[in-house]
Structure 1
Amino acid sequence: MSDKPKTPLLDKVSYPADLKGLSREELKQVADELRTEVIDAVSVTGGHLGAGLGVIELTVALHAVFDTPEDRLIWDVGHQAYPHKVLTGRRDRIRTLRQKNGLSGFTRRVESEYDPFGAAHSSTSISAGLGMAVGAQLSGKKRNVVAVIGDGAITAGMAYEAMNNAGAMDARLIVVLNDNDMSIAAPTGAMRAHLAKLVSGPTYRGLRHTAKQIAKALPPIFHEPARRAEEFTRGFFTGGTLFEELGFYYVGPIDGHNLDHLIPVLENVRDAEEGPILVHAITKKGKGYGPAEAAADKYHGVNKFNVITGAQAKAPSNAPSYTSVFAQSLITEAREDERIVAVTAAMPSGTGLDKFAEHFPTRTFDVGIAEQHAVTFAAGLACEGLKPFVAIYSTFLQRAYDQVVHDVALQGLPVRFAIDRAGHVGADGPTHAGNYDSAYLGAIPGMVLMAAGDEAELKHMVATAAAYDQGPIAFRYPRGDGLGVEMPERGLVLPIGKGRILREGSTVAILSYGTRLGEVLAAAERLAAFGLNPTIADARFMKPLDEVLIRRLAAEHEVLLTVEEGSIGGFSSHVATYLAANGLLDSGHLRFRPMMIGDRYAEQGSVDGMYGEDHLDRNGIVATVLRALGNEAEAMRILNAGRD
């Protein structure tokens, strides 16, 4: 603890109210110390770094100007909010970020009254903020609602839907656009800041109001030209015509790292009576920390790192990551088939498609944070005979469910879905859990669904998806490294709907779907100590099911377990439905035990620990087998030993 950086002024700030009496120079010192604190904390815990460093001054300014938590402050996406957490009573726990029983890596309502809305998926803040603003209005309360949207979140259609709605209303909604990649306008100097201060101030707004009243007195034919003249004049000097068209009063762009620019503008919009207002702040991702400024993508999310060198810690592994296996397999297939193209929604490095783009830049499409568009765009590509692979995290594919159903599956289009981050995701917690895709895709007729048991199987599934042209096909795989199995040079095309037997045995059969397969095989070895030699099968497919394999396992064994890293309603539910519908449970000789992720929101922690809580580790699998055979005492002993 002696190495902890000195932060004498920040030490006096426990809550935003402590900022109110500080001078402008003192607020600048708080910002400098806050940046130091965030860098040091994330170096210990890992997590999202660059986005938070980019909003240090903005965070200080917002809490100094507005009366939070009475005024609502919504961060979109929530990984910008680490500095906000430090200033809102959570500094003493900031080094528990993303740890079991620690602070969430995102905003969360149950964590603090200063987090009025949970935001971990992007582009929701304006919708939620408008709801809060209208709710306050209907309740007769006068409060400001501020939505800070940035880090690419403005690229999503939902943000524009919300702005279009807000622009037709008179709610007290302030949107702060944290433009940290110069996607809309480049930062400029003092003149821009002066103009922003001018047009946000009461004098200009008063003149604007007077001009509007004069225009109303003119014959109706002059109303529209007068409005356009005012809009053009202000837009010419300040930009923001798009937001004006959506009904927002635009202010900016301003330097989001300059408190002398930020505070007067925020004070002006705070005191404005009309709404909604958009403040455009230009920031730099990773600001104030050299390694993060130089490589914003690599320091978006980090492992633990050395503050001085910026070097990130990574546990050594003898196996490649599933994401890298997917990327390399897709590259291999694309070399042989020029119709293969790749689509991602603002996650090229997270999905491995940045590697694909190095080889095939004209066949790679990053559509921004727009999963709905990504899926329908891919459907259009498929209509023209191309072979689109849409690589999206399981948790984000949820946002495009209607498009998967209506635009792809209903039309039988051969779109390939590579579903990354399937199953538990550890420190990202319940907002990013990839637990539900098997259930929500399994309900769709005509979908082919696969789950890789190991990294070699993933390679085969990429090849299978590339070869399959009869309709939509999806394959899922987890975050992290593979099992270290021997890898083929190129994937084989698997027969659709056929599983594989890995180990022949008797009495007990375990049917695995996905990468719990390694734990299933380890459990089989441990069951030998109890005189059991289980049959182990890898289902490979959830749709269509390998009915021949399931019938055989049911007929030849007393106990049948299904094991998957997904929620209720997924693979086990499909197997149970098949068994019941075909009378395979009627005789009573078969004891069927489905094993899946529990029907709850799993809190953040280590991935292994989370699977242990669901009994989806080797100890849990062994205990489930023993319970099915009536050995309850031994099952409880194993579970308790594993808990220790």
Structure 2
Amino acid sequence: MEFEEITPGPLLANIDSPADLKKLNPEQLVEVCDELRDFIIDTVSIHGGHFGASLGVVEMTVALHYVYDTPRDLLLWDVGHQAYGHKILTGRRDNFHTNRRYGGLSGFPKRSESEYDTFGVGHSSTSISAALGMAVARDLDQSDKKVAAVIGDGAMTAGLAFEAMNNAGALNSDILVILNDNCMSIDPNVGALKEYLTEITTSKTFNKLRDEIYDMLGHFKSAGEKMRKVASRLEKAVTTAITPGGLFQALGFKYYGPVDGHNVDTMRRYLEDLKDIPGPKLLHAVTVKGKGFAPAEREQTKWHAQSSPFDKITGKSLNPDKTAQPPKYQHVFGEAIVELADENENIVGITPAMPSGSSLWPMMNKYPDRAFDVGIAEQHSITFAAGLAAEGKKAFAAIYSTFLQRAYDQVIHDIAIQRLPVVFCIDRAGLVGADGPTHHGLYDISYLRSAPNMVVSSPLNEQELRDMMYTASTYDDAAWAIRYPRGRATGMACREGFQPVKIGRGECLREGGDIAILSFGPMGNYVIEAADDLSEDGIEVGHFNMRFAKPLDVELIEQVCNRYEHIVTIEDGTKIGGFGSAVAENLSDKPYQIPVTIMGVPDRIVEHGTQEELHREVGLDPEGIKAKVHEVLKMHSLKT
């Protein structure tokens, strides 16, 4: 899409850094917020991107950069979906149209992109830990810089956030945590913490008394150290008594709020006051995800992100695609697990805060007692699944590849060692596109293949996905991982019902000449396309859909070695330790003297872009496959 120039408002047009923002009077900040919100809406309505989260923190973002001396003072954003306003105010306004596009700005904070991005993120709940580390480093350097972390109430449900708060309270480090409370992450938040925060924000008695105490403390600032200490003790005693559980005070944090996160003057005054209060502090700001754009406020999950242009007034798509499209792999999973659950009452589904992204909603709607959103708690989700499996339930854990990384100890300690038959349905496997390196699911083949008592599989298409899920639902000897990519499936016509898949068995899709290509997963569809083109060039390649990285189909590999003179493997994952490595390891102690060329993602960070652009960059698209075949044939001819 060609760049359409977007004109910022008159105040925003002159803000190239927070230093420019500080030149304005406090009374002008409301207009800055309006212009910033309009600029985000204008840009995303044309170019796409994450949406609702950034609209919800506009006033907070402006207040933070107005009060703090960034980048000297350190500002951290949890997850990073909400950092668009931050990027625009910190010198990236004129390039913001390249956000999430190949070669353009990252959709998340990124240290190599700007000095204002103090910590790179993409996954949740890291901000408090990182901020505490920075605060301790500051103290060791005897510096006076300030450290502030913005974390959503969804991200606060993760254990990592509470581990960090517990440590921060014990260290008594000077750090500010801003709790952005909007009851949403991507889907609506769940769990006890949500209820706890709701009780705080709706308690009229607490809020009235909290406001009176805060005003009183302001008067005590000039009354001397002794009076301030008395007031501080009064504040702690009263808020602990009235706030349900006194959770944050119990962790060693001074609690302030709840405050209106959309009142920029209120946010500014609180931040200015809290800068002078030492120790760990938590400011509870209540916001609305999608604030200022009515469709996003009404349907917050839908407007978490947008990939296509839309009318910035009505929210309606500007280029609705009326043609039938293949289903997404996640939706194939969502339909299949409901069908399987219809036939097997022991099937349960688990997802860590991604019922929409992983398409567990259909099962949650039909079988609410057998499908669970456990919140942003990846480690818990896997051990929870293990507990269900230990008691005879067939647990399907629907989880993104990069989210499963966060629970690797649980995979080993709680599932593999105990040989529990949990099924991992691993979405977003491989290069995912615009979300970039924090979300590329490149390592699951390697980190799961090394685990004992683990089947590692990947379907060529949606039919194989359905049949693998069925077979896994009846398999009780070990855990089973089924990986599939982000985006749309092939569009093939699937038969009704399910058929079992032979574990550890592949199939020959095409006989060829000197070269055999062993594909793992949907990358085989690229091979099919490349093989047809190579055939027109007079080059016939054998193509084998292997289906399993563990256990390998060693009999089929032996047949390949007896028939072909060179093997090429291809996978949408890291070359190191993946499917190709498994093939090479298998042949290392065999008598066959057959070379193996491994095609996969190289050992480097791959940035963001469309999946097609990234596959092309690393040579895994059909053109890359054809080029590799020609290269192998050329090398072979030189040797002979």
Q: TM-score, normalized by length of structure 1? A: 0.91
- 3-state SS of 2:515 partner: strand
Residue in structure 1 matched with residue 190 of structure 2 by the alignment: none
Distance in 2 (CA, whole Å) between partners of 1:195 and 1:68 is 32
* Count of residues in Structure 1 that have an aligned counterpart in Structure 2: 617
The residue that corresponds to 1:535 in the other structure is 542
Give the match's secondary structure for 1:147: strand
2:470 is aligned to: 463
Partner of 1:367: 374
Tell me what 2:315 maps to.
310
Rate the CA distance shift 1:241–1:204 in 2: closer, same or farther, 3 A. Answer: farther
The structural deviation recorded for 1:301 is: 1.6
Whether the aligned pair in 2 keeps the contact of 1:416 and 1:465 (CA below 8 Å) is: yes
2:107 corresponds in structure 1 to 105
| Residues 1:337 and 2:354 aligned together | no
Instruction: Tell me how far apart the structure 1 counterparts of residues 201 and 5 of structure 2 sit (CA, whole Å).
Output: 36
- 2:432 maps to 1:425: yes
Amino acid at match of 1:245: A
Q: 1:200 to 1:611 in 2, by over 3 A?
A: farther
User: 1:595 maps to which residue?
Assistant: 599
Q: Which amino acid aligns with 2:220?
A: T
Q: Name structure 2 gaps, 5 residues minimum.
A: 185-193
Structure 2 residue 238 is the aligned partner of structure 1 residue 233: yes
Deviation sequence 1:65-123 (CA, Å, 0-9, x none): 11111110001121110000111111001111000111110001111111111111110
**Helix, strand or coil: the match of 2:601?**
coil
SS in 1 for 2:338: helix
How many angstroms does 1:488 deviate by? 1.7
Question: Structure 1 CA distance, aligned partners of 2:119 and 2:572?
Answer: 29
Map of 2:215 onto structure 1: 198
Compute the RMSD of aligned alpha carbons. Answer: 2.4
Give distance in 2, aligned partners of 1:111 and 1:254: 32
- Equivalent position amino acid for 1:609 in 2: E
Q: Is the 8 A contact 1:447 1:473 kept in 2?
A: yes
Provide the residue aligned with 1:506 in structure 2: 513
Residue from 412, 415, 421 that aligns with 2:422: 415
Match for residue 351 of structure 1 among 354, 358, 372:
358
1:278/1:534 CA distance change after superposition, 3 Å: same
Query: TM-score scaled to structure 2, two decimals?
Result: 0.92
Write out aligned runs for 1:542-553 (5 A): 542-553=549-560
Residue identity matched to 1:472: A
How far off its partner does 1:380 sit? Answer: 0.3
Amino acid at match of 1:242: L
Query: How far apart are the structure 2 equivalents of 1:354 and 1:121?
Result: 22
The aligned residue for residue 392 of structure 2 is 385
Residue 326 to residue 147, structure 1, CA distance change in 2 (3 Å): same
The equivalent position to 1:95 in structure 2, one of 94, 97, 117, is: 97
- For residues 633-644 of structure 1, what are the structure 2 equivalents within 5 Å? none
Contact 2:221-2:228 within 8 A present in 1 as well: no
Q: Distance in 2 between matches of 1:180 and 1:77?
A: 15
1:5–1:36 CA contact under 8 A, matched in 2: no
How far did residue 240 of structure 1 move? 7.4
Distance 1:580 1:276, change over 3 A: same
CA shift in 2, pair 1:2/1:478, >3 Å:
closer
Structure 2: distance between partners of 1:540 and 1:369:
31
Residue in 2 aligned with 1:52?
54
In the alignment, the residues of structure 2 paired with residue 238 and residue 281 of structure 1 have an alpha-carbon distance, to the nearest angstrom, of 15
Equivalent residue number for residue 220 of structure 1: none
Contact kept, 8 Å, 1:467 with 1:493, in 2: the verdict is: no
Q: Among residues 294, 301, 306, which one is paired with 2:305 in the alignment?
A: 301
CA offsets 1:35-61 (integer angstroms, 9 cap, x no match): 001111111221111110000000011
SS of structure 2 residue aligned to 1:418? strand
Q: CA deviation at 1:314?
A: 6.3
Q: For the residues of structure 1 that align with 2:425 and 2:226, how far apart are their CA atoms?
A: 53
CA pair 45-187 structure 1, distance change in 2 beyond 3 A:
farther
Match of 2:129 in 1: 127
Which deviates the most, 194-203 or 64-73? 194-203
Deviation for aligned residue 1:581:
1.8
State the alpha-carbon separation in 2 of the partners of residues 48 and 208 from structure 1: 47
Could you tell which deviates more after superposition, 558-567 or 529-538? 529-538
Amino acid at match of 1:103: L
CA contact (8 A) 1:143 1:172 kept: no
Native 8 Å contact 1:196 1:254 kept in 2:
no
